[in-house]
Amino acid sequence: MNSSPKKSKALFWFYILLVYVFLQFSWWTYSMFQLNTESIRLKTEINLLKGETLEEVIQKGNELNEKLHKRWVMISSEGAVFIFLLLLGGYQIRKTLKKETALAQQQKNFLMSVTHELKSPIASTKLQLQTLQKHELDREKQKEIIANAISDTERLNNLVENILFASKIENSIFSLHKERYNLSEYIKEGMNQTIQSFNYKQRIVLNIESEIFMNIDRTTFPSIILNLVENAVKYSQADTTITLSLKKLNDKIVLSVADQGVGISNEEKNNIFQKFYRVGNEEVRKTKGTGLGLFITKYLVEEHNGVIVVKDNAPKGSVFEVTFS
């Protein structure tokens, strides 16, 4: 389904209607001016036919002209208000149409991406289990296939968890339970395990200051780090460097993930934290994802009293910086 022609058609008829209403109102205004002018002229002629003196006719003519001026002012004022409301309504309708079109495109992107994300690990796991079933393999090969199947299952589980988590966020049925932890050690341990498990093609560098403590929700805080790292991995080439930093700056804690990938345009920076939003066209995009990771990350950051921003990295790439108060 291509939403672009539908959007163009809707906007075309919207503009046609807007122009029609404007022309009708312009004609009504012109007719009102003409009618009032004609009315004043007729009244003046009637006064002359009554045989009134020239001074009386001039005096009444001045009174009628004053009334005509007031009516013109009234018609002009009402017309200006009407045109303002018409333009404001047109702007709001156009804005709504654009939002609806963008939402429809995001939902389309989500359906396409989630279909791929579901099918890929399911097909991979099925193939690996069929291989185990049909072939006599040595113990080491069996371990490798089982490990790959578990990895695909984890990927599938993470996808489902993200979808359910996003739904909980939307319905405001999720709350955090924070406790004080040594964030420095917590991130080091978690990232070392993650690096060993996923065997990234990029170099993951940890730049963690020691003894930084913070109140966090132990079950959800890792999603902030993993989503940011996964995002950096998806948009970075092999053998580039991804740097995860944690430092204390005055009374604030700053967590950042810097990559040397393709970067993000200024226009896209305003949209990437929206639900279902992904950079580019889903039909030609090669990177994995559903457009939920950064949406969830932003929510969790704010729930941990933080702010997340994205900056350009020099000479290329992006830096996602989270500041906790």
Half-sphere exposure of 287 (CA within 13 A, CB side): 17
Helix (H, G, I), strand (E, B) or coil at 215: strand
Maximum distance among all Cα pairs of the chain, rounded to whole angstroms? 124
Residues 114 and 197 in one domain: no
Q: Cβ distance 261 to 235 under 8 Å?
A: yes
Choose the final residue of a domain: 150, 174, 198: 174
Q: State whether 165 and 187 are in the same domain.
A: no
Q: Are residues 167 and 184 in the same domain?
A: no
DSSP annotation string for 17-59: HHHHHHHHHHHHHHHHHHHHHHHHHHHHHHHHHTT--HHHHHH
Residues 135 and 7 in one domain: yes
pTM over 0.85: no
Question: Is 213 in the same domain as 279?
Answer: yes
Q: How far apart are CA 289 and CA 260, in angstroms?
A: 19
Give the Cα separation of 208 and 188 in Å (integer).
8
Same domain, 297 and 220: yes
**91 and 237, same domain (yes or no):** no
Catalogue the E-assigned strands of 33-132. none
Q: Could you give the CA distance from residue 145 to residue 21 in angstroms, rounded to a whole number? A: 68
Residues 60 and 204 in one domain: no
Residues 298/283, Cβ–Cβ less than 8 Å? no
Domain limit, last residue, from 174, 189, 222:
174
Same domain, 279 and 319: yes
Task: Tell whether 96 and 26 lie within a shared domain.
Answer: yes
User: From first to last of its 325 residues, what are the pLDDT tens digits of the chain?
Assistant: 444 556 567 667 777 777 777 777 777 777 777 766 777 676 666 666 566 666 766 676 667 667 766 767 776 777 777 777 777 877 787 788 777 777 776 677 666 666 767 777 888 888 888 888 888 888 888 888 888 888 788 778 877 877 787 777 777 777 788 999 999 999 999 898 888 777 788 999 999 999 999 999 988 898 899 889 988 988 889 889 999 999 999 889 999 999 998 888 888 887 888 877 766 544 434 555 667 888 889 999 999 999 999 999 888 899 999 999 8
Through-space distance between the first and last CA atoms of the chain, rounded to whole angstroms: 45
Task: Give the chain's domain count.
Answer: 2
* CA atoms of 310 and 266, how far apart (whole Å): 10
Residues 269 and 299 in one domain: yes
Q: 310 is in which domain, residue-wise?
A: 178-324
Q: Specify whether 213 is located in the same domain as 238.
A: yes
Q: Of the candidates 139, 174, 209, which is a domain's last residue?
A: 174
Closest by Cα among 85, 112, 31 to 289: 112
